[in-house]
Amino acid sequence: MKATKKTKTIAKATQVYTSNAIQQLEALSGEREVWESTVYQTATEALYGLLGKVYGFYEDSFINRSAEERLALRQEIASKLTQSGVRVQSNSSVLGLLIRYVFKSDRKRVLCYQKAVEVAKKFSVKPTVLPDWLRGNHGIDGVAKLTKENQAKVAKRQELEVAVTQINAVIEKRKGQPLASVTITGTCCQSISALITQPGPNGELKIVCVVEDIETAVYNSLVRSAARKWKAANQSMSLLNAEAEKFIQSADQQELKAA
């Protein structure tokens, strides 16, 4: 009897401990969310903007200058970096030196920033729109990988990003004009939730499960899935229209030849 009472006491104490621990973790997670949406986001935006300015400076003060001015600029920057204790190699690019001078970053980070600017130039991205382009291509580390992909893959991903933007706009509009509104007993959704449905025999949708308060990553994945299907449907329609237009033009050309 005493052993049972002691076991219950220990179990209750353990439950209190784990409950307090989870509450502390929730608080830390909340702080992380605030940091990610404020400090981190602001710092990232500032970084992209600053890199865009360095990119612009590189074009104005090096690319669009005479050979003598280019040499003089490189020598001056190399001298300044050497004086501050940075080792400058003879084969170091001027762009890399500029990034090192401004950001005071290590060699690995300098190469990453440099690659981002070089890829941006390859895709005809202007310095003023570099921040927007970086955001749309998964940041500095993301664009550094673009050179490993062929143009078709890049174009396909960019088309998907456009489709995602359009789907988000549709979702925003439908918040005021939803496709349907339902009340489901036993659910208590506090934020965005998902409905799992099955098609009925008469075209209706049978709601078989409610996934309450889904994570942001799950929501974004659903939006991207919707964007892919929407893009595929549009492409199918475009192909049909192109086929019809080609057929009509062919017939018109034959009529002109006959005339």
- What amino acid is encoded at 173 in this protein? K
Same domain as 257, residue 142 = no
Same domain as 242, residue 196 = yes
Residue-level length of the chain: 259
3-class DSSP state for residue 244?
A: helix
Same domain as 30, residue 49 = yes
Same domain as 155, residue 70 = no
- What amino acid is encoded at 17 in this protein? Y
Tokens representing 94 are 């001027």
Q: Each residue of 92-109: pLDDT tens digit?
A: 899 999 999 999 888 889
For residue 185, what pLDDT is reported?
85
For residue 42, what pLDDT is reported?
83
CA distance 154 to 146: 7
For residue 238, what pLDDT is reported?
62
Same domain as 136, residue 55 = yes
Given 126, 148, 170, the domain boundary residue is: 148
Please report the DSSP string for 151-168 in residue order: HHHHHHHHHHHHHHHHHH
Residue 210 backbone phi and psi in degrees, to 5: -115, 120
- Residue at token pair 């074009």: 59
Domain residue limits at 79: 1-148
CA distance 256 to 230: 39
- Of 60, 100, 62, the residue nearest 81 (C-alpha): 100
Given 104, 120, 148, the domain boundary residue is: 148
CA distance 185 to 116: 52
- What amino acid is encoded at 122 in this protein? K
Cα→Cα distances 26→33, 37, 76, 171, 215, Å = 10, 17, 52, 30, 15
- Residue at token pair 């209750």: 12
CA distance 103 to 101: 6
CA distance 73 to 65: 10
For residue 242, what pLDDT is reported?
65
- In the chain the first and final C-alpha atoms are separated, in Å, by 109
Structurally, how many domains does the chain consist of?
A: 2
Number of Cβ atoms within 10 Å of the Cβ of 163: 20
- What amino acid is encoded at 194 in this protein? A
For residue 203, what pLDDT is reported?
84
Same domain as 135, residue 46 = yes
What pLDDT tens digit does each residue of the chain (259 aa) get?
455 666 767 677 788 878 888 888 888 888 888 877 787 778 888 899 999 999 999 999 889 989 899 999 999 999 999 998 988 888 889 999 999 999 988 888 999 999 999 999 988 899 999 999 998 888 998 887 776 555 667 677 888 888 888 888 889 998 889 888 888 888 888 888 888 889 988 888 888 898 999 998 888 899 899 888 888 877 766 666 666 676 666 655 555 555 5
Q: Each residue of 6-31: pLDDT tens digit?
A: 676 767 778 887 888 888 888 888 88
In 36-66, which residue ranges form alpha helices assigned H by DSSP?
41-58
Same domain as 115, residue 27 = yes
Same domain as 65, residue 139 = yes
Same domain as 20, residue 127 = yes
For residue 58, what pLDDT is reported?
92
Same domain as 164, residue 85 = no
Given 82, 113, 148, the domain boundary residue is: 148
Same domain as 162, residue 247 = yes
Same domain as 180, residue 143 = no
